[in-house]
Amino acid sequence: MKQSLTLCAALMGALMTGGMGAARAEEPAIPVGHLATNSGETSSVAQAYAQGIVDSLDHINAQGGIKGRKIAYETVDYGYDALKAVATYADWLKRLKPVAVFGWGTADTEALVQFVARDQIVFMSGSSSGHLTDPTGLAHPGDTAAPYNFFYGPSYSDGCRGLVQWAAEDWRRTRGANTSTFLQDLSKPKFVHMGDNHPYPNSPMAACADYARDLGFQVLPPIRYSLKPGNYEPHCRELKASGAEYVFLANTTESNVALVKACAAAGVTAQLMTNIYGWDESAIEAAKEDGNGMVWVVSAAPWTSAAPGMALVREVSKASDSRGNTVRPAHYIRGVCSAFLMRDAMTAATAMTGGVTGANIKAALEQMKGQVPAGLEGVCQPSTWTSRDHRGSTKITLYQSHYSNGQGGASEIYATNLPLRPDWLGW
């Protein structure tokens, strides 16, 4: 309801001209759509990301918007249903006429790729699918170009590549394998992908498996488990029987916590790893000791960080928590980084012919080099996009969780900058 009121107020303000000709008309508002998932399989992480977007837009508007123009956004909870997301987009196209859309899931984002390209509407998604990184479609013949798709941070594929790179080094270090013979060793470490048979968990599967083979892993057939938490005992027995030493969990936190608990009870000792939405502060508290040792990708500073930019994050957070008591998870801060990168692109677009249009926002994003939004220094990773490559960042930072004596935490254990390999673009 708050978002709808924000939209109506902004649009009404844009139409008002003032009495007796003495007052100048307000600058028209900038229409923006926001597809959120506050229900559905990934809601445990989606809600935080969506709140980061909403709070950021409210804060930006409170600070004067984009050169005096407010952002008139409309939030729709599409329930992680790709068909509803497409229908919402079609409605917005006729009614709202957005220049940009903040999206969430992989299935819905990929379903809209060709539409947003046709309509020249920038789509900044929560999904980090590697399939969205090729704006020309030339990297792999037959692939769909995604010229209007952007996301903050590394792709799911690059995140998983960073994890298996760490795993290869961990194997050599902990098992004493000789680097020169690692690739020829008949007892190669075993790697397995676990996740639902769904566009989001599947997104990095082939790319990550290919790189794991390059690093000397034996890649096992994937093990499927639902995004909806259930009885995972059979899956854990299958994992244990496989002999896998390193496991990539491709689902989100809620199902991952349930799996971790079931596998701990089953005596699984494999090293578990997961993506940016697969683990967080709440997962550490929910899994307790069963989650010890989990390694996962982190692409923004945590709430406890002393980075200078956290002062702005805490101010943004007050948009929905005036007392400042809520501890925000990493997903919220990713939403903040995404929204403020959009702010910067819209601001740059105001100086272009035609002003704040989708095409100009796209051009502004593609001119960014190492962009960190002003005020968020030390919080958001630098972002660089070009008209031929939408991999905004290939810096991979890994944390490892720990829990003891009733308290949980995490520590950074690894960081790497992956190369912008041409064969990895769009994959």
pLDDT in tens, 31-46: 999 999 998 899 999 9
State residue 25's pLDDT score. 54
Q: Mean pLDDT score of the chain, rounded to an integer?
A: 92
CATH of the domain at 110: 3.40.50.2300
Question: What's this model's pTM, rounded to 2 decimal places?
Answer: 0.91
Task: Give 375's pLDDT tier (boundaries 50, 70, 90).
Answer: very high
Same domain as 57, residue 19: yes
Residue 125 lies in a domain: yes
Task: Give 210's pLDDT tier (boundaries 50, 70, 90).
Answer: very high
Region 178-200 average pLDDT: 77
Residue 378 lies in a domain: no
- Output 155 or 141, whichever has higher pLDDT: 155
Burial of 394 (0-12, 13-18, 19+ CB in 10 A): buried
Percent of the chain with pLDDT over 70: 91
State residue 23's pLDDT score. 39
Same domain as 178, residue 85: no
pLDDT in tens, 230-261: 999 999 999 999 999 999 999 999 999 999 99
Give the range among 6-20, 311-325, 377-391, 399-413 with minimum mean pLDDT.
6-20
Instruction: Please count the structural domains in the chain.
Output: 2
Q: Answer whether residue 93 shows pLDDT above 60.
A: yes
* Lookup: tokens for 426: 């769009």
Q: Which position has the token pair 């794991």?
A: 212
Same domain as 271, residue 416: yes
Residue 142 lies in a domain: yes
Same domain as 220, residue 89: no
Q: Is the dihedral of CA 375, 380, 381, 384 positive or negative?
A: negative
State residue 1's pLDDT score. 40
Q: Answer whether residue 372 shows pLDDT above 50.
A: yes
Residue 222 lies in a domain: yes
Residue 361 lies in a domain: yes
63 CB-near residues (< 8 Å, 6+ apart): none
Cβ contact 277:302 at 8 Å: no
Q: Which position has the token pair 């989650």?
A: 291
State residue 152's pLDDT score. 98
Burial of 353 (0-12, 13-18, 19+ CB in 10 A): exposed
Q: Answer whether residue 14 shows pLDDT above 90.
A: no
Q: Answer whether residue 10 shows pLDDT above 60.
A: no
Same domain as 218, residue 142: no
State residue 26's pLDDT score. 67
Residue range of the domain that includes 80: 2-154+306-365
Residue 387 lies in a domain: no
* Lookup: tokens for 114: 């060709």
* Amino acid at site 224: R
User: How far is Cα 177 from Cα 265, in angstroms, rounded to an integer?
Assistant: 30
Same domain as 228, residue 199: yes
Cβ contact 54:92 at 8 Å: no
247 CB-near residues (< 8 Å, 6+ apart): 191, 192, 194, 239, 270, 271, 272, 273
Task: Give 141's pLDDT tier (boundaries 50, 70, 90).
Answer: confident
Please give, one letter per residue, the 3-state secondary structure of the chain.
Answer: CHHHHHHHHHHHHHHCCCHHHCCCCCCCCEEEEEEECCCCCCHHHHHHHHHHHHHHHHHHHHCCCECCECEEEEEEECCCCHHHHHHHHHHHHHHCCCCEEEECCHHHHHHCHHHHHHHCCEEEECCCCHHHCCCCCCCCCCCCCCCCEEECCCCHHHHHHHHHHHHHHHHHHHHCCCHHHHHHCCCCCEEEEECCCCHHHHCCHHHHHHHHHHCCCEECCCECCCCCCCCCHHHHHHHHHHCCCEEEECCCHHHHHHHHHHHHHCCCCCEEEECCCCCCHHHHHHHHHHHCCCEEECCECCCCCCCCCHHHHHHHHCCCCCCCCCCCCHHHHHHHHHHHHHHHHHHHHCCCCCCCCHHHHHHHHCCCCCECCCCCCCCECCECCECCECCCCCEEEEEEEEEECCEEEEEEEEEEECCCCHHHCCC
State residue 175's pLDDT score. 78
Give the largest Cα separation in the chain, rounded.
86
State residue 17's pLDDT score. 34
* Amino acid at site 114: Q
Same domain as 118, residue 221: no
Q: Answer whether residue 184 shows pLDDT above 80.
A: no
Task: Count other C-beta atoms under 10 Å from residue 308's C-beta.
Answer: 13
State residue 7's pLDDT score. 41
Q: Give 66's Cβ-side CA count (13 Å radius).
A: 28
Residue 383 lies in a domain: no
Q: Answer whether residue 421 shows pLDDT above 90.
A: yes
- Output 47 or 176, whichever has higher pLDDT: 47
User: How far is Cα 376 from Cα 333, in angstroms, rounded to an integer?
Assistant: 10
Same domain as 219, residue 137: no
* Lookup: tokens for 87: 């229908």
Task: Give 27's pLDDT tier (boundaries 50, 70, 90).
Answer: confident
Same domain as 338, residue 226: no
Same domain as 135, residue 18: yes
Give the range among 14-18, 246-250, 384-388 with minimum mean pLDDT.
14-18
Same domain as 13, residue 120: yes
Same domain as 93, residue 11: yes
